[in-house]
Amino acid sequence: MPTQQRRPPSSASSSSRATRSRDIEQVDEEIVFDRIHPSFMIPDLFTQPPPDETVEACLPFLTGEDGENECNEHGVPGIDRARHVRFLHQCLGKLPARFVAADASRPWFLYWCLSALTMLGEDVTSYRDSIIQTARSMQNDTGGFGGGGRQLSHIATTYAVVLSLALVGGEEAYEVVDRKAMWRWLGSLKQPDGGFQVFVGGEQDIRGAYCAAVIISLLRLPLDLAPESPAYTGDSSANLLTGVAQYVRRCQTFEGGISGQPNAEAHGAYAFCALACLALLDHPGRSIPSYLDVPRLIAWLSSRQYAPEGGFSGRTNKLVDGCYSHWVGGCFPLIEACLNSNPSRSSSGGAVAADDPTATATATTPTITKTSLPPADESLFSREGLIRYILCCCQDQTKRGGLRDKPGKMSDAYHSCYVLSGLSSAQHQWELDELEPDAQPDAAAAAAAEPNDAAASAGPNKQADLEAVWAVLPYLDGLQVFDNKDRVRPIHPVYAIPQPTVRAIQAYFAERPGF
Amino acid sequence: MPPKGKAANKTKASETTKPTQTTTTTTAAASSSRTTPPTTTTKPPPPPTTTPTPETVLARSEARYAAARPHDALLRQKGGSLSAALSHPEQTAWLAARIASRIAARPALSSGSSTAAGAGAVGKVACGGGVKTLREVWKIVNEGGLGLRVARVRKSPPGGEVGVREFEAKWERKVVLGCLEVESRCFRTRWERERRGEVEELTGELVVVTEQEAFEETRRRKEMAALRKELYGGGVGKEGKLAMDPEWDDVEPVVLEEPEGALAAISYSADYAEAMAYLRAVMQAKEHSPRCLRLTEHIIGMNPAHYTVWLFRAANVFALKLPIPDEMAWLNGVALENLKNYQIWHHRHLLVENYHPLIAADPSAVAEFAAAERSFLQKILAEDTKNYHVWSYRSYLVGKFNLFNDGEELAAIEAMIDDDVRNNSAWSHRFFLGFSNPDYATPGSAATEADPGVPAVVIDREVEYARDKIRLAPQNQSGWNYLRGVLVKGGRKLATVEEFASGFVKGLGEGEEAEDVQSTHALDLLAEIYAEKGDREKAELSLTRLGQKWDRIRVGYWEWRRKCLEVPA
């Protein structure tokens, strides 16, 4: 395993470099011609190498020396949409026998590809019928979806199927889900300590908690526990979400990041699961500081970004990988929502707030509360760095298309989805505003909504009105190193699918309480 | 092509069971003329005088045709009309052969007394004469040794260019395959009878299929599959590994058809598809048996990421009450072959959960088990030092068997950190060992908060350890994160390491030349220390320099930290 060595720019070399750059300013433009691409505006932050294998692989791309695609004046290539789109359509088609290792995770391919295509601006409703057929073949009578036909239901594959159904949208797609069986099955995964097993008899980790919260929220499932649930105590105040936040809290490590299960190492993928899960339980301005040490968390998240690559790593002393553009990058909108909003004291509930939100907080008195942390007026991470890494290093610029971990790696559906998700969140600004109970839905948000979202605003939904509302704008502060045509579509910071699709499925099920 | 030795074996085997078949059907010509009256076939064809033994099937067919229809060759040779080319007797013979072959083509008419009238009718139609004429025809045909039915030579018969020897070898294999199929059928019948509890007709004893018989049947099916593949090409039947094994004869595989237009469908290999079909069948039947275990092993070998199979395997292990250490030993091999796999570690977890109650009361058994596990974990971590699943399992194991005070566990971690001081996984495990020890740790204490239960001596030891390691690699964040974590756990002021941290930062804010930062993490910690002490100016300077020069990619974060200074904590 290559070991990540991060040194500060060494004193000797950097001061001499600094001297040289001063010289350049003082003397004349002659020396400037030594630069390979004099016209590219690439800050030396992204071109100075500390010795490192990954950096060496990335530098030719970051400096625009390598790569097939034409660069803009910032030395950044555009998104090769056509190739990526073709690659993603292929990944949805028939896969060769060597993909057998993916036999238990086919629903992920559905979600990754549909989500990536959506972000690239493609209309995925043409996949509606085949998604419906495929999803049906994976559903179990006992609730939930397996990795394929006749496989045990797994919470991760169920999450992927539900998101895929939401992405193609439409009543027929929504109705694929047997909600009552789903509700009962989720109850059988719920553990007395608050967490969720990923399948009956499977491991328990923070993915389980996040996926369960998303499924419950999108399908508007009731929170009651069936008596068969391992977590059922007869106490009527205990429900599907009781103790979830405490479980998340137990996963924060001394480094500040989040581990997959208590007592393990902090890891980027679990950080996103933890924060998104908390953001579903309550307004993130309350839930995140109530259960996590926010300054430590931010310190750890921020440490994940490296120069000169600009991308994120998943753990301390590990290498950058394009997928953490989402897992780590996707944490920042949630952190910003936590820092920038000023939620009212009374808990009006997150998307899936427990009936009595105070009940969730009773088991352990949170020791950490939001002690007047300053708002994040400017970005907490380098959006420029991440965007450069994604566009320069994570695109497979050959005919193959698709997005990847880093130069030298093969593109795949997983990286295509999460690299684009990271790009999307770096290119947009999300804000979470709490509405007054009598306020109308945010006009801008309603305007941004797509036609199929009409149902969402049509039916007056008391709960929705009380909820905090996410609003998105293109991120416009500071230098924009990509061209406007290369802005991908925004996705919801919690559900990781476009906001209108979230609203549409929630609105559909909100009108059908009970089973 | 099967190995030659095998083919030889088969011939022997078939000779013993079906000798008649092998001797009668030796050539293609013989089989194609099997329906002709025996009198005609037993007559030897005119000896080939000058033509050499034909080399290809096509040449041989032509030679045979010529021998059975001598006049045709003459006709072709001389050309012109029938009367010009052939003498009168030759013409008669030629005609007789044609008439006889037409009659022979309707076997019902050529034999059997009840149809004599019909035969006469055909004869009349054929040559205008009566039964007498017909007799004459037969006489000429028999005496002239003329073939009644002759394989018509197509211009390019399939495999016509194939050598005669090769062609005959192929025929032989077809015969062998036929024999094997008969034997296999016999076996299945016996197998079925055994299952029904039937008795041998002769002895009155229960039908028992011996292991040897089953073994031979497996081998037989493999031979059959190989022969079929060779003779008819691949993919003709479902000769999978399991269909070939008589042990699975009683299971009807559940084949899963993907719906029309299924997305991301995988073109499974035949072996995998077959195994999954059998798995569905036994899972549906909730069968727990040694063969199920073997089936899961077979599938795991092809796809170790299949959680459904793993859980079914665990159910079998427990239902059959297999010794857990045996299963662990098997699992070790699988784990080493599949370093990145996730399911292996959950399986191990389940095994430990099951095994723990059996040995928990016996300290020496626990120690032995822990030592074996550690030795295996060291082996697998040597392959992949930061494997997340392995480390997660390791912390679970420590908690389960309370190995916090096991000196070897700590020593093993120290050795790993000595190997690679940047191995953050090892650092994280060390933190767990030190601060989650139930002997003193307060239950429920969060990792980022102080725990008054932790003895000062532990804090001192760990602070010293971290400082030692940081000196080795000042820009290694693992060491700094650990140091800070320990101080917070111990409820100590960060300022207690101010002097230490200052050693890595020289001349801050004293100009480009004077300023030297060996570790941005030291400067980060110093900023916190200054803030803690209320020295806002120095804290601000530290954060500014981090953003301006020493860690520019994180400038947004350092700016936010600077704003934190404005808000009283």
Give the strand pairing for A468-474 and A428-434.
antiparallel
Mean pLDDT on A69-92:
95
Q: Are both B487 and B554 inside the same structural domain?
A: no
Same domain, B561 and B520: yes
Q: What is the pLDDT of residues A146-188, one digit of tens each?
A: 999 999 999 999 999 999 999 999 999 999 999 999 999 999 9
Name the H helices within B388-423: 388-401, 407-419
**Structural domain contains residue B87:** yes
Average pLDDT over residues A429-433: 90
Assign A372 a pLDDT band (cuts: 50, 70, 90): confident
Residue B391, in any domain of the structure: no
Name, of B9-13, B194-198, B537-541, the range with top average pLDDT: B537-541
| A267 labelled catalytic | yes
Of A18-22, A62-66, B469-473, B521-525, which gets the smallest average pLDDT?
A: A18-22
Task: State whether B452 and B553 are in the same domain.
Answer: no
pTM (2 d.p.): 0.78
Q: Is B289 on the interface with A (CB under 8 A)?
A: no
In this structure, of A198-202, A318-322, B50-54, the range with the lowest mean pLDDT score is: B50-54
Percent of chain B with pLDDT over 70: 82
A contact test, residue of B431, B557, B566 with most A CBs within 10 A: B557
With respect to residue A9, please indicate whether it lies within any of the assigned structural domains: no
- Find the mean pLDDT for residues B67-84: 74
The model's confidence at residue B155, banded by pLDDT at 50, 70 and 90, is low
Which of A110, A316, A372 shows the shortest C-beta gap to B481?
Answer: A316
Q: Are A81 and A125 in contact (CB under 8 A)?
A: no
pLDDT at position B553 is: 97
Is-catalytic flag, A323? yes
pLDDT at A451 over 60: no
pLDDT band at B240 (very low <50, low <70, confident <90, very high): confident
Minimal-distance CA residue of chain B relative to A92? B264
Q: Are A432 and A285 in contact (CB under 8 A)?
A: yes
pLDDT at B29: 41
CA dist., res. B36 & res. B223, Å (int)? 34
Of the candidates A83, A184, A267, A492, the residue annotated as catalytic is A267
Six-digit token string for B178 = 């036929």
Q: Are residues B509 and B456 in the same domain?
A: no
Q: Apex CA A337: angle with CA A336 and CA A342, to 5°? A: 120
Is the CB of A264 less than 8 angstroms away from the CB of B392? yes
- As a whole number, mean pLDDT of residues A56-65 equals 88
Q: How many domains does chain A have?
A: 1
Confidence of residue B81 (pLDDT cuts 50, 70, 90): confident
Predicted confidence band of residue B109 (pLDDT cuts 50, 70, 90): low
Does residue B391 belong to the interface with chain A, where contact is any CB pair within 8 Å?
A: yes
Label residue B151 by pLDDT band (50, 70, 90): low
Can you tell me the mean pLDDT for B241-259?
87
Quote the DSSP letter at residue A429. E
Residue B509 belongs to domain spanning: 502-569
Does residue B439 have a pLDDT over 90?
Answer: yes
Is A264's CB within 8 Å of B307's CB?
no
Domain count along chain B: 3
Q: Is pLDDT above 60 for B255?
A: yes
The band of A273, judged by pLDDT with boundaries at 50, 70 and 90, is very high
Q: Which of B86-95, B237-246, B261-270 has the lowest mean pLDDT?
A: B237-246
Name the strand (E) or helix (H) holding A385.
helix A383-388
pLDDT (average), residues A400-412: 97
Cα dihedral B48, B52, B53, B58 in deg (nearest 10): -90
Tell me if B308 and A146 make a contact (CB, 8 A cut-off).
yes
Q: Is residue B329 part of a domain?
A: no
pLDDT tens digit string along B526-538?
999 999 999 999 9
pLDDT interval class at B14 (50, 70, 90): very low
pLDDT over threshold 60, residue B17: no
Tell me, yes or no, whether B63 and B129 share the same domain. Answer: yes
Residue B89 has pLDDT above 90, yes or no: no
Given A80, A282, A405, A453, the catalytic residue: A405
The reply to whether A29 falls in a domain is no
Q: B57 with B134, same domain?
A: yes
Sequential DSSP letters for B99-157:
HHHHHHTSHHHHS-GGGHHHHHHHHHHHHS--HHHHHHHHHHHHHHT--SS-PPPPSS-
Q: Which of A160-164, A217-221, A455-459, B380-384 has the weakest average pLDDT? A: A455-459
Residues B167 and A404: their CA atoms lie apart, in Å, by 54
Task: For B569, name the nearest residue in chain A, comparing CA atoms only.
Answer: A371
pLDDT of residue B145: 73
Interface check for B518 against chain A (CB to CB < 8 A): the answer is: yes
> Which tokens in the block code for residue B50?
């000058």
Contacts 24+ apart (CB under 8 A), B119-128: B123/B99, B126/B99, B126/B102, B127/B95, B127/B99
A324 is catalytic: yes
Asked if B318 reaches chain A (Cβ–Cβ under 8 Å), the answer is no
Q: Are residues B97 and B124 in the same domain?
A: yes
pLDDT, mean of residues B365-391: 95
Residue B129 confidence class, pLDDT cut points 50, 70, 90: low
CA dist B180 and A379 (Å) reads 76
Indicate if the pLDDT at residue A453 is higher than 70.
no
Per DSSP, the residues of A99-153 read: GGGGTT-HHHHHHHHHHHHHHTT---GGGHHHHHHHHHHHB-TTSSBBSSTT--B
Q: Decide which of B462, B492, B522 is a domain's last residue.
A: B492
Same domain, B477 and B532: no
Out of A283, A286, A383, A415, the active site residue is A415
pLDDT at A501: 97
Q: Stretch B336-342: mean pLDDT, rounded?
A: 87
B558 lies in some domain: yes
Domain of residue A151, CATH code: 1.50.10.20
Contacts of A436 (CB under 8 A, 6+ apart): none
Separation CA B353–CA B397 (nearest Å): 10
Amino acid A70: pLDDT: 87
| Parent domain of A151 | 81-94+102-510
Tell me: do B478 and B518 sit in the same domain. Answer: no
Q: Mean pLDDT over residues A277-291, rounded?
A: 95
**Is residue A20 a part of any domain in this protein?**
no
pLDDT at B57: 77
- Across B182-296, the runs of DSSP E, i.e. the strands, are none
Residue A351: predicted pLDDT: 57
Matching residue, tokens 């553009």? A325
**B74 is a domain residue:** yes
Longest dimension (CA), chain A: 81
- Decide if B530 is inside a domain: yes
Shared-domain flag, residues B54 and B107? yes
Q: Which of A383, A302, A368 is nearest to A335 (CA)?
A: A302
Among A70-84, A173-187, A329-343, A462-476, which stretch is predicted with the lowest mean pLDDT? A462-476
Please give the pLDDT value at position B41: 43
Assess if residue A40 is contained within a domain: no
* Contact indicator for A404, A410 with CB cutoff of 8 Å: yes
Residues of chain A found within 8 Å of residue B554, distances taken between Cβ atoms: 302-303, 305, 381-382
| Domain match, B463 and B506 both | no
- Shortest CA distance to B298 belongs to which of B313, B314, B283? B313
Of B144, B175, B196, the domain-final residue: B144
Cβ–Cβ < 8 Å for B424, B482: no
Structural domain includes residue B194: no
> Same structural domain for residues B456 and B516?
no
A75 is a domain residue: no
A374/B448 Cβ within 8 A:
no
A66 falls within a domain:
no
Q: Touching check for B85 and chain A: CB below 8 Å?
A: no
* B259 neighbourhood in chain A, CB within 8 Å: 133-134, 136-137
Q: Hey, is A471 helix, strand or coil?
A: strand
Asked if residue B298 is part of any domain, the answer here is: no
What's the mean pLDDT in B180-191? 89
The mean pLDDT value for B348-377 works out to 95
Put simply, the answer to whether B308 touches A104 (Cβ < 8 Å) is yes
The ipTM is: 0.86
- Look at residue B128 in the predicted model and tell me its pLDDT: 56
Bridge pairing between strands B505-506 and A468-474: unpaired
Q: What percent of chain A has pLDDT over 90?
A: 71
pLDDT mean over A118-135: 97
Kindly indicate the confidence band of residue A209, based on its pLDDT and cuts at 50, 70 and 90: very high
Give me the mean pLDDT over the A96-124 stretch. 96
Give me the residues of B, 138-157, that contact A with CB < 8 A: none
Which chain B residue has the Cα nearest residue A385?
B553
Last residue of a domain, one of B123, B144, B165: B144
Confidence of residue A34 (pLDDT cuts 50, 70, 90): very low
Strand partners, A469: A433
Inside any domain, residue A49: no
Q: Are A340 and A431 in contact (CB under 8 A)?
A: yes
